[in-house]
């Protein structure tokens, strides 16, 4: 969401917040995106994440060296217009956690915070103001933690009571307390939403649903065949196959007796042929175990070959009016938006939680119509791959994502990422007992920290000496070459460390004594491991 829109949508609850919001909007009108940069003389925007455990009982805090106290994660927007993304980035970098998500994309708090004069990476920073925009974040507390070198230490989970005991910034405690309260209130609002969807959906469905052939029956055989065909296949493509399949195989007995060649021919063009093979296997199982009568309990239907949780839920709710939620991609999308759920919907835990949240809704309504209404909503209104039609949605009045202006940004679908591997040749250049180091760029990985000179790729000895010679250091002796690996969240560095004794300490590098690399220049572990 655009940063100005996020600030405008925030609804202040205290006089301090009203003042802070008015000030930052006035500065934004005067300075524009310059307010997102730390060199703005009027002050600048920072982005914090108030990070809680899933049960909202503990917050993740770090001891910040600048403030001399435990505090939340956060940092400068540095020109970025996605404030939530900045808060998530800072939380990852300051704590080492990798799996976290926003409780809501809406701003949780806007506060004006004084920053004392301090030094950062050896550079004096005068006292100034942070116009801080805070978001509520959630993370699993079992994840490993680490410090952000040169900025914080002692990263750990704290209860609200422990936070009061350890935080020495008295002006921050009321802010932390209100954030605890707000995140708990948001969680309660989310938990109450599923029970509010049934009435508007059931009132909407009769006048707005599409006429589809499998909706004209509650015969479990026909509904089951349609659900298997609709897996990974568009509705319009299925209609013809559905009619042709049922003409050839009108019941379970006919399907059980059909040779595989006939099944494959009837399925030809639909793809995913394991689906039709499983239909045949399941029909034979029904014939053998249930005398050809379709089973009528969720457990029995779920045990059929090729039937998963969704298909079993759909058949049982539509055909037998059982309170068995049918949660597919459409339903996940609808519920992720209604509850503004930023968890990964490809995660089995997320799907299980949404299924359980819907179960009591099914128990108090018409299961058959509710299943089909949720499906229809996801297919025709709360659509994938485009802007949701919120103006046509019967749930727009209770949808948290619509209220936050973030419906199009959900659901979150994150496939498991593999770490990218980067090969580097890192130079340990020694001259007169001192080692060459250089400052890293102000943005990106290990921003503004010190590094050993390095180049991409693995160089052989001759190439390494030639590269160092090009820097003017006049290599005199190649002492050794070592191999090291350092793992970041999404990147693995495979490093080849080249130790060279040199004659010329060129001014393009800073030359530091070995003991200074930890105490003065904060050489990151990724490089320090080569020296150790």
Phi, psi of 527 (to 5 degrees): -95, -35
Apex 23 CA angle, 20 and 24, nearest 5: 85
Instruction: Give the count of beta carbons closer than 10 Å to the beta carbon of residue 455.
Output: 14
**Active site annotation includes 260:** no
**Is 344:327 a contact under the CB 8 Å cutoff?**
no
State the DSSP string of 370-424.
HHHHHHHHHHHTS-SSS---GGG-TTTTT-HHHHHT-GGG-SB--PPPPPEEEEE
Contact 523, 515 (CB under 8 A): no
Closest by Cα among 148, 201, 228 to 446: 148
The catalytic residue among 17, 227, 376, 430 is 227
- Give the C-alpha separation, 94 to 498, whole Å: 30
**Cβ proximity of 149 and 522 under 8 Å:** yes
Please report the DSSP string for 92-147 in residue order. HHHH----EEES-SS--EEEEEEE--EEETTEEE--EEEEEEEEEEEE-TTS----
Positions marked catalytic: 227
């Amino acid at each position: 969401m655009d940063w100005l829109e996020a600030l405008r949508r925030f609804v202040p609850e205290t006089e301090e917040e009203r003042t802070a919001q008015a000030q930052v909007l006035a500065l934004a009108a005067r300075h524009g995106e310059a307010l997102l940069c730390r060199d703005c003389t009027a002050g600048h925007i920072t982005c914090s994440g108030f990070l809680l455990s899933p049960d909202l009982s503990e917050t993740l805090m770090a001891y910040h060296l600048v403030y001399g106290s435990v505090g939340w994660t956060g940092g400068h927007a540095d020109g970025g217009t996605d404030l939530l993304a900045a808060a998530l980035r800072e939380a990852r970098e300051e704590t080492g956690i990798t799996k976290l998500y926003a409780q809501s994309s809406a701003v949780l708090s806007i506060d004006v915070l004084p920053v004392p004069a301090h030094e950062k990476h050896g550079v004096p920073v005068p006292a100034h103001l942070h116009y801080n925009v805070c978001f509520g974040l959630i993370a699993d507390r079992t994840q490993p933690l680490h410090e952000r070198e040169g900025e914080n230490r002692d990263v750990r989970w704290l209860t609200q009571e422990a936070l009061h005991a350890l935080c020495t910034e008295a002006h921050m405690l009321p802010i932390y307390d209100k954030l605890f309260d707000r995140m708990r209130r948001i969680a309660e609002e989310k938990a109450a939403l599923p029970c509010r969807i049934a009435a508007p959906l059931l009132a909407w469905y009769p006048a707005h649903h599409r006429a589809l052939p499998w909706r004209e029956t509650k015969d479990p055989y026909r509904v089951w065949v349609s659900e298997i065909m609709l897996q990974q296949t568009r509705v319009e493509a299925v209609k013809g196959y559905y009619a042709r399949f049922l003409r050839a195989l009108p019941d379970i007995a006919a399907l059980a007796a059909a040779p595989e060649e006939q099944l494959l021919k009837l399925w030809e063009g639909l793809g995913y042929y394991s689906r039709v093979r499983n239909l045949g296997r399941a029909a034979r199982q029904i014939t053998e175990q249930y005398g050809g009568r379709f089973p009528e309990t969720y457990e029995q239907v779920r045990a059929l070959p090729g039937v998963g949780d969704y298909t079993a839920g759909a058949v049982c709710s539509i055909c037998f009016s059982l309170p068995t939620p049918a949660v597919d991609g459409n339903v996940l999308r609808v519920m992720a938006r209604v509850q503004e759920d930023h968890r990964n919907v490809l995660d089995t835990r997320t799907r299980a939680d949404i299924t359980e949240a819907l179960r009591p809704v099914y128990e108090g309504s018409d299961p058959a119509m509710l299943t089909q209404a949720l499906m229809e909503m996801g297919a025709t209104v709360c659509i994938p791959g485009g802007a949701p039609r919120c103006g046509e949605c019967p749930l727009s009045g209770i949808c948290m994502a619509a209220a936050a202006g973030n419906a199009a940004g959900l659901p979150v679908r994150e496939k498991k990422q593999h770490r990218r591997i980067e090969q580097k040749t890192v130079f340990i250049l020694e001259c007169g007992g001192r080692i060459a180091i250089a400052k890293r760029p102000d943005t990106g990985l290990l921003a503004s920290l010190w590094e050993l000179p390095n180049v991409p790729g693995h160089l052989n000895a001759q190439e390494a000496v030639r590269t160092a010679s090009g820097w003017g250091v006049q290599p005199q002796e190649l002492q050794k070459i070592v191999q090291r690996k350092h793992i970041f969240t999404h990147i693995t560095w495979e490093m080849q460390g080249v130790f060279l004794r040199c004659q010329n300490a060129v001014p393009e590098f800073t030359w530091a004594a070995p003991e200074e690399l930890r105490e003065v220049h904060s050489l990151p572990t990724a490089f320090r491991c080569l020296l150790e």
